[in-house]
A and B are shown apart, each in its own frame.
Chain A
Amino acid sequence: MKRVLAIIIAILLFVVFAMAFAKIPFGEQMSKYPHYYNPIENQTSNMSLPQHYLTYGKKDTGATNMVTAVVVDYRGFDTLGEVTVLFLASTGVGSLMYVENKAKKKVKRSNAVVETGSKLLFGFIILFGAYIFIHGHLTPGGGFPGGAIIASSFLLLYLAYPKFHAEHKRLNVSESLAGLTFVIVGLLGLAIAGYFLYNFLPFGLPTYLFSAGVIPVIYVAIGVKVGSELTGIVDAMMGVRE
């Protein structure tokens, strides 16, 4: 009965959404988008907002990866809120999963191939994650994928070695330091130029590693923060051993 009702509701919703989205064009040129209205200068530009970002992005931020430019520079507050949400989630998981002394049951050891293989792969995965978040302003990727890759290397160790345990205090320290770096870079921008998260460092040459001002600094901080937070979540969830 309930299942039939759910199917009817789902089909109705599908029809409504499909009729609404039939009016939205797919794959159209950006010149047909509505033009960008700048509220500070109180005038309308002769191009749409994404066109504006793509045209002036390299000059404004120095980054080659426009998604990074939008995420860290133009819409820096989005990233700040996102990092806050992730921090709250990891705190919440930690407090929900808190157990006094983690009573470790006798766990079966995994076999030697898995242990040696994960020991060898661990360093490579960390290296690749660091590469991803250091080159966030030049290539696809950035702080969040890099941090997730680093956390996955720790997850590999957790799965291969039942006794493995990352030091929680050190994780907290690196997480807090990375978050502080992000906020302090933003406050330095406020002190120097009058805007929070202002890009105050020299841009350098585009496509070089030391370019794009504060974007690489912020992305390294985000990468370390996301990596340690996801590792903390994994650790809290693996700590539950009945």
Chain B
Amino acid sequence: MIPYYYLGSIALVVIGIYIVIAKKNLIKIIIGLDIMDTGVNLLLISVGYVKNATAPIENVPGPYVDPIPQALVLTAIVIGVSVMALALSIAIGIYKKTGTLELDELMGVEE
């Protein structure tokens, strides 16, 4: 039986891929990329889970969960935010140059 955490995060990744393929609006594609990013982060975190364990902050006793995926996700979140900011500013630039955000119209626009 596959745990629900894996299924949910894989579903988020797949929904992101579907949005990137099927949608035509640039902002919607960026939202799809963000959903994919969230799914990957959730997947990474859930791989490091240990049953009945607490957060790896050594003020409390007890078994701790794996700290390495948390460190990796801390990095991945910041990179996701950076990519999102750059993509949004590129979208703003495209809108200012061409006046549209639809991919179909952008294909036909000359310069």
Interface residues of A (CB under 8 A from B): 2-3, 5-7, 9-11, 13-14, 17-18, 21-22, 24, 26-30, 49-50, 53-54, 57-58, 64-67, 69-71, 75, 78-79, 81-82, 85-86, 88-90, 92-93, 96-97, 138-140, 142, 144, 206-207, 226, 233, 236-237, 240
Task: For chain B, give the interface size range.
Answer: 35 or more
**Contact indicator A30/B66 (Cβ below 8 Å):** yes
B90 at the interface (CB under 8 A from A): yes
Closest chain A residue to B4 by CB distance?
A26
Main secondary structure of the interface of A (DSSP, over half): helix
**Contact indicator A30/B88 (Cβ below 8 Å):** no
**Contact indicator A237/B21 (Cβ below 8 Å):** no
Residue of B3, B15, B17, B58 with highest tally of chain A CB at under 10 A: B58
Q: Mark B71-97, 1 if CB is under 8 A from A, else 0.
A: 110110111011101101110110010
> How far is B33's CA from A46's CA once the two chains are assembled, in angstroms?
41
Q: Which residue of the partner chain, among B3, B56, B75, contacts A26 with CB atoms under 8 Å?
A: B3
**Contact indicator B67/A27 (Cβ below 8 Å):** no
B41–chain A nearest beta-carbon distance, Å? 13
**Contact indicator A96/B57 (Cβ below 8 Å):** no
Closest chain B residue to A72 by CB distance?
B71
**Contact indicator B67/A21 (Cβ below 8 Å):** no
**Contact indicator A53/B83 (Cβ below 8 Å):** no
> How far is B47's CA from A18's CA once the two chains are assembled, in angstroms?
14
Task: Report B-chain residues with C-beta under 8 Å of the C-beta of A10.
Answer: 14-15, 17-18, 21
**Contact indicator B10/A85 (Cβ below 8 Å):** no
**Contact indicator A53/B68 (Cβ below 8 Å):** yes
A88–chain B nearest beta-carbon distance, Å? 7
**Contact indicator A18/B51 (Cβ below 8 Å):** no
> How far is B56's CA from A139's CA once the two chains are assembled, in angstroms?
10
**Contact indicator B67/A54 (Cβ below 8 Å):** yes
